[in-house]
Amino acid sequence: MKFIIKHEMTGRIRVHLAVKRMSYREADTLLYFLQNLDGVTGAKVYEQTGDAYVCYTGAREEIILALRRFRFEKVEVPEEILQNSGRELNAIYKEKLINQVVLRIGRKLFLPVSIRTVITLAKSMRYIGAGISSLRGRRLDVSVLDATAIGVSVLRGDTKTASSVMFLLGIGEILEEWTHKKSVGDLARSMSLNIPKVWVKAGGQEILVNTDTVSEGDSVVVHMGNVIPFDGIVTEGEGMVNQSSLTGEALPVRREQDDYVYAGTVLEEGELTFRVKKVSGTTRYEKIVTMIEETEKLKSSMESKAERLADRLVPYTLGGTGLVWLLTRNATKAMAVLMVDFSCALKLAMPITVLSAIREAGTHHVTVKGGKYLEAIAEAKTIVFDKTGTLTKARPTVKAVVPFCEMEEGNLLRIAACLEEHFPHSMAKAVVREAQERGLEHEEMHSKVDYIVAHGISSSIEGKKVIIGSAHFVFDDEACKVRPEYQERFDKIPAEYSHLYLAIEQELAAVICIEDPLREEAAQVVRSLKKAGFDKVVMMTGDSERTAAAVAAHVGVDEYYSEVLPEDKAGFIAREKEAGRKVLMIGDGINDSPALSAADVGIAISDGAEIVREIADITISADSLYEIVTLKNLSDALMQRIHKNYRNIVSFNTGLIVLGVAGILQPTVSATLHNLSTICFSVRSMKSLLESADGNVT
């Protein structure tokens, strides 16, 4: 692709492609291509000018070479990304705003007063009709206020005021609708599926394949804790499926042979094989959009309070108008009250503030599923961390495989990887990755795999029972033994590592030593969270007391608990909530699911299990704990802006009413200033809450 460099500085480059204008599809294709280049940290594409802006950390030459090789037709972009990018939506609403302004100016410049009057009367019918409809439904809401203001202006022959009010109301409606749809669309896209590989059943074997190679009619196997990647009909197995992301049902539902399963739902228990009916992600996206628009989940209590207050203020505004007229017998002064109300700005600015905050969180790789969770974070004082994969790195590594039988180390690792590859856990992924790096390929040689949450995995190979998991699972639950001749070796297992125990036929066969180093930023993040307002930072882990104590001391948490089970984590959170404290829970594994559900806000970190990302209220996809600090600062800034909006809206509109009643402002001027202030408050509410990821409030 031919292009010229328009501007460049270290780590940033802006180029102009040799095209007059890109289509929306082409712009989305280029953006997808740029965002998936190694070293690219951010990119923007402007379809109207044919420009592209790239931020990168890698070599400049690689970016230039990639752009030279770029061809629209050679880039394969998932269809759901192209269909739901939001680029066309932005263009449509920009055009609506421009048209509204151009038509307003054009009518004033080129149409005579008589024709403008007829147009104003015709347009007023919509607002007056909406007000009458509310009255018929015994509702005194904002539409009644709008209808009264416009109707009174028309009756007084002041069509200029009526026209101005309707113009400003129209601009406000477009801005509200645009911001809402864009925020919902951004949120829905971030919640859409991103499953790169799935298990396909063919010839009696389970084969791991790329998702984009699956066709309608293929048989896909889903193991416990994983997301169902496509719509389909169950052909084998049974399980409990969590459908809350689509239906809002709190409890999982049973699915067995001939039942229908939906893409994006999560298999909490059991194992299912289903025949694929739909491979497109569009259905999933549309269902998410519908869910977001219909549910109350998006609304924070502050947002709901604003809506209730707005409706309650309408009768007072109408009553104030009547009272001023009775006391002064001055219609102009009465109209000054009617033209100014608090409800428009409250109802418009508050939802826009919350939705914009959700959208801004997305720019920091944070998916927030509702405004009430941001409010809860601002109020929370207790934060609970899981250790493995949360405070520690998401990519632990195998450091040693210690045999306790006659089998070779490679064969033992192969067996462990064969079992572990079916389940989403950072330790399991470390075992699978080590086997791949050693070139230890294997065929499926075991029978059905059973996963016991927070304990381990059980299966059989050639008729022999094989288990892998924690020491508690292997030695206490399953009563496995160490052969006497290996006892000395067992006693010398390096204590600085985490351990996975592999047993065959009730005898220990191997111990896999896994290094699970702390994240470099963990201690600093804990200090930052305390500074931001959390007075109780807790770590909970299934590891030994010795390991937990060392990590807790290094990180600087206030409390820690070792050798805990999933129900222990959930129980601690329940006790904190009973004490009147709001609690955040941060985790990444299936065993964290009960605690994430129990907390006021459950936060899933980066490469966690699919079920955790589905259950969590917030998901952080960036591989850094600093985003938690950003999230806290964003939540605090959101609440500050909401309170500031309350004060500004009430004080400004009160001032307009006082000036109008005093005869200083005419109704037309009051209406104009009121509507302009509403738009200004709304536009201000769209601005970023944070200047940067360090959490400085604008």
Domain boundaries, the chain: 3-77, 92-188+297-354+635-686, 197-280, 366-393+518-621, 397-515
The pLDDT assigned to 407 comes to: 92
How far apart (Å, rounded) are the C-alpha atoms in residues 632 and 223? 35
Pick the CATH number of 197-280 from 3.40.50.10470, 3.40.1550.10, 2.70.150.10, 1.10.287.70: 2.70.150.10
613/634: higher pLDDT: 634
488/169: higher pLDDT: 488
Residues 6+ apart with CB under 8 A from 284: 80, 192, 193, 262, 263, 264
Decide if pLDDT at 288 tops 60: no
Pick the CATH number of 397-515 from 3.55.10.10, 3.40.50.300, 3.50.50.60, 3.40.1110.10: 3.40.1110.10
Q: Of 91-95, 126-130, 293-297, which gets the smallest average pLDDT?
A: 293-297
How far apart (Å, rounded) are the C-alpha atoms in residues 231 and 212? 14
Q: Which tens digits make up the pLDDT trace of 557-586?
A: 999 998 888 888 999 999 999 999 999 999
Residue 296's pLDDT band (boundaries 50, 70, 90)? very low
The pLDDT assigned to 4 comes to: 92
* Pairing status of strand 601-605 against strand 583-587: parallel
How far apart (Å, rounded) are the C-alpha atoms in residues 537 and 674? 46
The pLDDT assigned to 558 comes to: 95
Q: pLDDT over 90 for what percent of the chain? A: 33
Q: Which tens digits make up the pLDDT trace of 162-207?
A: 888 788 778 877 876 786 677 666 656 655 555 667 889 887 778 8
Model confidence, pTM: 0.68
Residue 685's pLDDT band (boundaries 50, 70, 90)? confident
Decide if pLDDT at 508 tops 90: yes
The candidate with the shortest Cα–Cα distance to 386, out of 541, 556, 590, is 541
Residue 314's pLDDT band (boundaries 50, 70, 90)? confident
Q: Of 312-321, 545-554, 573-582, which gets the smallest average pLDDT?
A: 312-321
Decide if pLDDT at 387 tops 70: yes
63/197: higher pLDDT: 63
The pLDDT assigned to 87 comes to: 86
Q: Which tens digits make up the pLDDT trace of 603-630?
A: 988 666 666 777 788 888 777 899 999 9
The pLDDT assigned to 127 comes to: 93
Q: pLDDT over 70 for what percent of the chain? A: 86
Span 3-77 CATH architecture: 2-Layer Sandwich (3.30)
In a 13 Å sphere around the CA of 515, the CA atoms on its Cβ side amount to 7
Q: Is 46 left (phi over 0), alpha (psi -120 to 50) or beta?
A: beta
- Check whether domain 366-393+518-621 has CATH 3.40.50.1000, yes or no: yes
Domains 366-393+518-621 and 397-515 share a fold: no
Considering 314-328, 450-464, 466-480, the range whose residues carry the highest mean pLDDT is: 466-480
The candidate with the shortest Cα–Cα distance to 335, out of 322, 351, 346, 345, is 322
Decide if pLDDT at 697 tops 70: no
The pLDDT assigned to 442 comes to: 62
Residue 672's pLDDT band (boundaries 50, 70, 90)? confident
